[in-house]
Every structure is written in C-alpha cells, then in structure tokens.
Chain A
Amino acid sequence: MAETVFAPWDDPNEKPLIRFRNVTKRFGDFTAIDDLTLDIFEREFFALLGPSGCGKTTMMRMLAGFENPSEGAIELAGQDIAGVPANKRAVNMMFQSYALFPHLSVWDNIAFGLRRESKDKAAIAARVEEMLKLTRLEKFARRKPHQISGGQRQRVALARSLAKAPKLLLLDEPLGALDAKLREATQFELMDIQEKTGTTFVIVTHDQEEAMTVASRVAVMDEGRVMQVATPERIYEAPDSVYVADFIGDVNILHGAAKPIGDDTYEVIEAAGSTSVTAVSGRPFSDGQDCHLAIRPEKVSIHKDKPDADNALQGKVLDIAYLGNLSTYHVGLPTGDIIKAQVANTRRVSRRNFTWEDPVWVSWTKTAGVLLAE
C-alpha cells in the first residue's frame, strides 16, 4: 500500500502556514523569546513543549495577537501579522481556563464568534448545531457553563474556538484541568477532531506524554529558545542535545571522552577511565572530545551472568521500582554512576529474578544510545 506519509516539513516546495522569523520578545529586561525561527505547516498538529517559563505561552499569545514581537516577524500564510489585532486574525484560541462566558448558554457561547461576523441566523444556527454534534454536546446546548462538568466545558471551549473554522487553532494547556483518564480519552478526541476538520493545531503543553501522543511534530523549548523540532519518534530516539534527551522521558547519561575507532563507531571512555563503552554515531566526534552517551532504560537489559553484548557493565541492584507493566532496576556501577534498566513484566505472576544488592550485568548494543556533544 502506497500511503503517503504526512511530512510537509521534509518537502522543500511546501509553504509553511506560520513562519516565525528571528522573533525576539522582551518584557522589560526579561527576554521571553530569544531570536526564534520556526516553521509550522498546514494541517499540522504542532506541540510546543517545555517547562513553565520557557516562553511557549508567549509564542502562543503572539500568534493569537495578544502580544507583539519586539523584533522579527511572524507570518501567517505569507503575510506579516504583526499589526493585525486579535479580533481581525483568522486564528482562534482555546484558553487554559476555557474562558467560557458564564452568563451565556453553551449554545450562545459557541455562536458568539459567528455572530460577530455574520447576521445570517440560519447559517449561524446550522454551524452551531454542527459544532455541538462534533463535540457531542447536543444535550447540553441550553445549559450554562456552571451547569456542566469539566470535561464538557473543555468540549464547549473547543467547539467555540472551532466554530469560525480558523486557519489555525491554538490550544493553551487544553487538558490541564482534566483528570488522567479523561485526559487520555480527550487526547484521542482532539486528534480525531483535528483530522476531521483539517485545521492546523498548535498546542502548548508541559506534559511530554500529551505532546508525544497528539503531535505530528514537537518543539522542545527552554528559556525562550527552541532546542529541537522533530517528530515525536525523533525527539525520543534521536535527541540532538542532552537537554532534550533528559527532558523527554527517562534516560541514562554517561559522560566521557570520545575516541573514534572507525565505521562511525566511537569508544566513550569515562572520566575515571575505568569503564569504556562503544557507540555508533552519525555525528562526528574528534579524538578526546567531551561527549555524553544517552541510553533509554528500556534499551538496557539486565542479566545474572556476563552477556555477550557490545556493552556490558557490572553493577549492583540499588533500587527496584515496580510500575505494574514495567519494573525499573537502578543498577549502581563501581564508578558511582547509576544505570536504569527497564524490564516489561510480561508474565502475570513471575518470580523476581533480581533483588536488592544482587550483583548483575547491564548491557546494550552499540546503536542503542545516542552520542551527544552537549
């Protein structure tokens, strides 16, 4: 089956819907966004991910029109939108607090935006009904926001921001107020609606799982800079900095000096010199260059006896975290480093192979880790 993969960012002929060009935003002395350049394409579900205060909300507010960049330009469909006020932009936003109008019914909340641009009552009614159906809110149309549950409120906010069929929908921590179960269900609902409407979504979140689940691409941000923009898979499997590797998921990081041994393969000699591991890297490193090897815990296996592997290190079990589906073993190396190894609990009642203080071996292949300069 020749299904084309959705990847407009790899197509040089594709024109981005949104273009941040060397955008800097300062609030007094504080630089919220620092010389940021970023392209977002049509129909993308784009996630801005980062810790609080990294500038992701500022980026969103600049897109919505509530802030203007101090320097640089933001283009929407090829046009600089710097001077365009919020109420004249084909961009709608779903607020973190939902910001539903408490004095209006669900129906009137959804109709609010439509009434601002059209007088045609029948068309407005038809569109509102369509939105109610899309978000499965038909039964609640006459209720006021305080008469419905949190999950329903979230859907009203979504319906209201989608009603005007914006080119771009901004979602500011849209699921932050929901509990874990509902959040998971809503994530899939969001993806579903995004696919149905074909709207470009930009979501701001600090929840990496949420970003990985919903997004076609993720931008990891820190202190007003974009650290990496890539698909969730690439962000996870091929981070290009220690910051990204560490921010997304769990990771083991070994610090050492690189020594090329041919075939894109490097030996990483730890600072203490007592251990060395090998790793393959597409990125070149010079002899003796400072480097970090990042390996995900699920790619590390744990053994009783020395395994036949590219990298095998001996250590001692320090801690075991039982998570139900997985168990994470914390193995202390003689150097003092701790390697986390994750094992799937595939059997229901299984005898634990290892316990505290057991001498064990941890191993991984030379392609399991990513070699990073910083």
Chain B
Amino acid sequence: MNRLSSFNVVSLTLGFVFLYVPMLILVIYSFNASKLVTVWAGFSTKWYGELLSNEAFLDAAWVTLRVAVISSTIATILGTMAAYVLVRGGRFFGRTLFSGMIYAPLVMPEVITGLSLLLLFIGIGLDRGVFTIVLAHTTFSMCFVSVVVSSRLVSFDKSLEEAALDLGASPWDAFRLVTLPIIAPAVVSGWLLAFTLSLDDLVIASFTSGPSATTLPMKIWSSVRLGVSPEINALSSILIGLVTLGVIAASLASKQAAVRAKRDEQAAVRAV
C-alpha cells in the first residue's frame, strides 16, 4: 500500500473537517444537559426522552414519512412510465418537446415550482394538507426518477423485449416479466432518490401544506426561528444516525451482491 504524502493527509483532513465538523458539533450538543445550546453542562440524554414525548414532532415525522413513501411510489410509477415511452416509444409527434419538458423541473427553482403549485391548488379549490404535499412532491420528484430509469433503458438490449413478444408475451407481460426485473435496480434507486428528495424538502412543502399538515423539515425550520433547542439537535442526530445506517446497509448489500455475482461467474467458468 502506498503511504499518503503529507499533502494528501492535509487535503483529506481539510475535506473531512469541512464535511463533518458541523454535524459532529450538532451530535455532541444533542447530549448537552443545559438548555442553552452554547453552554456545555455535562452529558445527558434527556432531550431524546423529551423528543419522544413531543407530540408535535412525532406528528410531523409521521406526516413526512407518509408523504415521502406515497409520493415517491407514485413518482416512481409515473416516472418509469414516462421514461419507457420516451426511450421506447420511437418517434412520435412532440417527442423532443416532451423529453425536454420532463427535464425542465430539474432546473426549475423550487420557489417557482412551489408557488405555481400553490396557485393551482387555490385555483381548483383544493384544501391544502397532506394530499397536496404528496401531489407536489410527486410532481417534482417524478422527473428525477424518469432521468434515472431512462438512462438505464437506453442501454437495455431491445432484443430481450422482442424475444419476449416473439415467445407470445403481450407487450404488458414483456414489460412486467422481462424489462421490469432487469431494470429493477434503476427503478429502486429512482424510488430512493424520490424518497430522499421528499424527506428533506422544505420549500415546496411550505408552499403547498395547510394548517393540518406540517412536515419535519418545516417543523425544524419553524422551531429554529424561535431559537435552537437541544431537542432539535437530538432530532437531527437521530436523522443523521438513520441516514448513516441506511448508507452502510445499502453499501453492504451491494458489496454482497457483487461477491455473489463473482462467485456465480467463477462457478460458470469451472463448468465450461
């Protein structure tokens, strides 16, 4: 193994400090016994306990989770369909326009998306709440899903679908039994992307939510305006912990899959 040069060590340290010191401070202060965020008064886990009994936070967390699961699922279905049509549909009238339009929300400022959705909901007289946040999140995360899925579909061997049709499968069966299982990893990562986007969206949710529904980012934001409380620190620490666990689990799973694929391949080579 190459030893790191001192320059590399410095770069590495600087990078990690920039990335992780803010989070580290947040986690440390979540264990602060004092109510004042800036004064250290010994170790305590009481804020975690208080958090669990804070109905407002728990409600917000529940709303956020529901919105994220529902909206990312709908966005994945719609986004996959859109990607399939745009990649596989061949040439049809307005195809270029459609594919351009589906990517537009990627670069649209969130404030504008949020505002236009708000105007729409008011216009059609829809009561704002969980439902409208779900609609809004579906709208903006769908295009992310379709980008991820269509990049996979472009490299997908079309003759696999043709083989399925040739063997008597209906177009829907060909998609369900052949295309979907093969592109599943892309669809899953599209879903995860949509889920994460929905989970930490503040701007669009603020525009489209009503008094009955508050998401966690909105709750944190509004609490912080009244002063940073150690409870928020505790909540954020939990979120960081969850994300870290998720990342580790995902990388372990993919590593295991890679090992299994390699073993399968070696088994195949021996059999030849």
Contact among B162, B164, B177, B268 for A143, CB-based, below 8 A: B268
Pair B168/A113 contact, Cβ less than 8 Å: yes
List the A side residues contacting B160 at CB < 8 Å: 99, 101
B163 close to chain A: CB less than 8 A: yes
A147 and B264 contact, Cβ closer than 8 Å, known pairs A92-B167, A113-B168, A160-B167: yes
Is B272 an interface position by the 8 A CB rule?
Answer: yes
Taking the complex as formed, is A73 at the interface, i.e. its CB lies under 8 A from any CB of chain B?
no
- Please, how many angstroms separate the alpha-carbon atoms of A96 and B160 in the complex? 11
Q: Are B271 and A113 in contact (CB under 8 A)?
A: no
Q: For chain B, what secondary structure do more than half of its interface residues adopt (helix, strand, loop), or is it mixed?
A: helix
With A103-B182, A144-B264, A146-B268 as given contacts, are A164 and B167 in contact (CB-CB < 8 Å)? yes
> Could you tell me if B157 and A101 are in contact, using CB atoms closer than 8 angstroms?
no
Q: Does A93 interact with chain B (Cβ within 8 Å)? A: yes
Closest to A88 in B: B168
Interface string of A83-120 (1 = CB under 8 A from B): 00111100111011101111100000000110011000
Whether A117 contacts B271 in the complex (CB less than 8 A), given A95-B163, A101-B160, comes out as no
Hey, which chain B residues are within 8 Å of A101, CB to CB?
A: 160, 163-164, 178, 182
Interface size on B, residues (CB 8 A): 25
> Are B168 and A149 in touch, CB under 8 angstroms?
no
Could you tell me which residues of chain B, from 145 to 182, have a CB within 8 Å of some CB in chain A? Answer: 157, 159-160, 162-171, 173-174, 177-178, 181-182
Q: Is the CB of B169 within 8 A of A87?
A: yes
Q: A99-B157, A113-B168, A144-B264 are in contact. Are A149 and B272 (CB under 8 A)?
A: yes
**A contact residues around B165 at 8 Å (CB):** 65-66, 85-87
A164-B168 contact in complex given A86-B162, A101-B160, C-beta closer than 8 Å: yes
Interfacial chain B residues near A160, Cβ < 8 Å: 163, 167
Q: Which of B87-143 contact A (CB under 8 A)?
A: none
Q: Are B168 and A146 in contact (CB under 8 A)?
A: no
B163–A93 contact, CB under 8 A? yes
Considering only CB atoms and an 8 Å cut-off, how many residues of chain A contact the other chain?
A: 32
Bitwise interface map of A from 61 to 96 toward B, beta carbon under 8 Å scored 1, else 0: 000111000000000000000000111100111011
Q: Are A116 and B173 within 8 A (Cβ)?
A: yes
Query: B182 — which chain A residues lie within 8 A by C-beta?
Result: 101-103
Most A CB contacts (10 A, CB to CB) among B165, B171, B173, B264 go to B165
For the complex, is B14 an interface residue (Cβ under 8 Å from A)? no
With the chains together, A113 CA to B166 CA distance in Å? Answer: 8
Whether B163 and A99, one on each chain, are in contact in the complex, defined by CB atoms closer than 8 angstroms, is yes
A148: Cβ under 8 A from any B Cβ: yes
B25 at interface (Cβ–Cβ under 8 A)?
A: no
Return chain A residues, CB-CB under 8 Å to B159: 95-97, 99
* A residues in contact with B50, CB < 8 Å: none
Judge whether B265 is part of the interface by a CB distance below 8 angstroms: yes
B1 located at the interface, meaning its Cβ lies under 8 Å from any Cβ of chain A in the complex? no
10 example contacts (A-B, Cβ-Cβ < 8 A) are as follows: A64-B166, A86-B162, A87-B166, A87-B171, A92-B166, A95-B162, A95-B163, A101-B182, A113-B167, A147-B264
B interface residues with partner A (beta carbon < 8 Å): 157, 159-160, 162-171, 173-174, 177-178, 181-182, 264-265, 267-268, 271-272
Given contacts A88-B168, A102-B182, 10 further A-B contacts (CB under 8 A): A66-B162, A87-B167, A87-B171, A92-B166, A92-B167, A103-B182, A147-B268, A147-B271, A149-B271, A161-B166
Residues in chain A within 8 A of chain B (CB atoms): 64-66, 85-88, 91-93, 95-97, 99-103, 112-113, 116-117, 140, 143-144, 146-149, 160-161, 164
